[in-house]
Amino acid sequence: MSETPKMIAVVGGVSGTQPHSVVEALLALQKDGHNFKIRAITRNAYKDETKSLSDQGIEIFEADSLNKQSLLEAFKGCWGVFGYTSPFLDGKLTKANENSLRNEVQQGINIIDAAIECNVSFFVYGSTAVLRFDTKNEVEKYLLKNKNLFKEGICIIRPVWFMDNFNTIIPIKNGCFSLPISNNRKIQLVSFNDTAKITALAFTNPQKYSSMQIINLAGDELTPDEISQILSRQTKNKVEYHETKFYNRLFNYIKKQNIFIFQQPQNKEYESNIKECRELYPYIQTFEHYSKTHFNNKNFGENKCMNNTTILGTIGCAIIGIGSWYLYQHSH
């Protein structure tokens, strides 16, 4: 008699970029013979994205992380849960509400408490090692305090800065990109896909991953100048980096408030040991490898860099900074 498949619930698995990638990675493991059933949790079960997932045999369950009762229904019969929290509605800066930062902590508490009450055996939390909000740290602390209530343990996945941010939240326009980071400072990087693969793998070996408990995940470490050189090679066009200077005071203020840290964290606790990551996951991508599949021969336009910053990069950084300041002011 075949073993009953283990049900894994993925919070935010329909439209959230990180949890949706975890759903895709679990599907790949399922096709490779792992005995999983997957349940994607979403606030809106009638989104267009749900049909393609349900066609692949994924259960779609409507629940809200701010409504613990709905999570209790969603986690019924689940062996494992991937918990994901976000201060932004649908993961978009443009849809953040005034209580977003407070709400993220409550999301995490609700997800953890509901999983405990539903006797979930193994819990994985998708955190982050950069773009640090104190809220994620609070959720981590709450999970660690309650880790013994999960029979097969818990694991916290902390990816560093995503390679996928380039040409999304960090636009590369007219052969330029900008960040409020000095050009000789190293940035640790990892791809969405690698993060999702490793998160999904945790469910194949709870004993191993619960013993590791916290994984700071990175595949590469480069300065902005080194990143621009790789982009130049892959696109066969000159790509330059210019430090955003005009808004550095704004970002320094934000960093002091501990609400939105754009730069690599100084706290060694959140740094990744890339050598160890490569030993554990030999397939983890370098930025060079990632660029070959995502930026090969891509045209970012004629190089028209300004001396101190690019207009688009400055505007993008300013929007993120002002938005973070607004969230902070309206959540205290």
Tokens representing 26 are 């679990």
Which among 220, 230, 227, 238 is positioned nearest to 179, based on CA atoms? 227
Task: Give the pLDDT confidence score for residue 78 in this predicted structure.
Answer: 97
Which among 61, 73, 77, 57 is positioned nearest to 4, based on CA atoms? 77
Tokens representing 202 are 């945790």
288: Cα separation from own chain's centroid: 20
Architecture of domain 6-162+190-217: 3-Layer(aba) Sandwich (3.40)
For 188, other C-beta atoms within 10 Å of its C-beta total: 23
- Specify the length of the chain in residues: 332
**Cα–Cα distance measured from residue 318 to residue 108, given in angstroms and rounded to the nearest whole number:** 29
Task: Give the pLDDT confidence score for residue 64 in this predicted structure.
Answer: 93
Instruction: Enter the pTM of the model.
Output: 0.83
Can you tell me whether residue 57 is helix, strand or coil? coil
Task: Give the pLDDT confidence score for residue 330 in this predicted structure.
Answer: 42
Domain range annotation of the chain: 6-162+190-217
Contact assessment for residue 160 and residue 218, using Cβ atoms and an 8 Å cutoff: yes
Task: Give the pLDDT confidence score for residue 133 in this predicted structure.
Answer: 58
pLDDT, one tens digit per residue, over 196-251 is 999 999 999 999 999 999 999 999 999 999 999 999 998 888 899 988 764 454 55
Low-confidence ranges of the chain (pLDDT < 50): 1, 90-98, 246-247, 249, 253-265, 307-310, 322, 324-332
Task: Give the pLDDT confidence score for residue 86 in this predicted structure.
Answer: 85
Mean pLDDT of the chain: 82
Terminal C-alpha separation, the chain: 56
For 225, other C-beta atoms within 10 Å of its C-beta total: 13
- Angle formed at CA 88 by CA 324 and CA 181, multiple of 5 degrees: 40
Task: Give the pLDDT confidence score for residue 113 in this predicted structure.
Answer: 98
Task: Give the pLDDT confidence score for residue 13 in this predicted structure.
Answer: 76
Strands 6-11 and 187-190: unpaired
Contact assessment for residue 136 and residue 104, using Cβ atoms and an 8 Å cutoff: yes
Task: Give the pLDDT confidence score for residue 315 in this predicted structure.
Answer: 53
**HSE-up of residue 195 (Cα within 13 Å, Cβ side):** 29
Strands 187-190 and 220-222: antiparallel
Tokens representing 77 are 């019969």
Which among 79, 75, 96 is positioned nearest to 87, based on CA atoms? 96
Alpha helix (H) ranges present in the chain? 17-31, 49-54, 68-74, 100-117, 134-145, 192-202, 206-212, 224-235, 248-256, 274-280, 287-294, 311-329
In angstroms, the Cα distances linking 124 to 166, 217, 256, 272 are: 27, 14, 30, 18
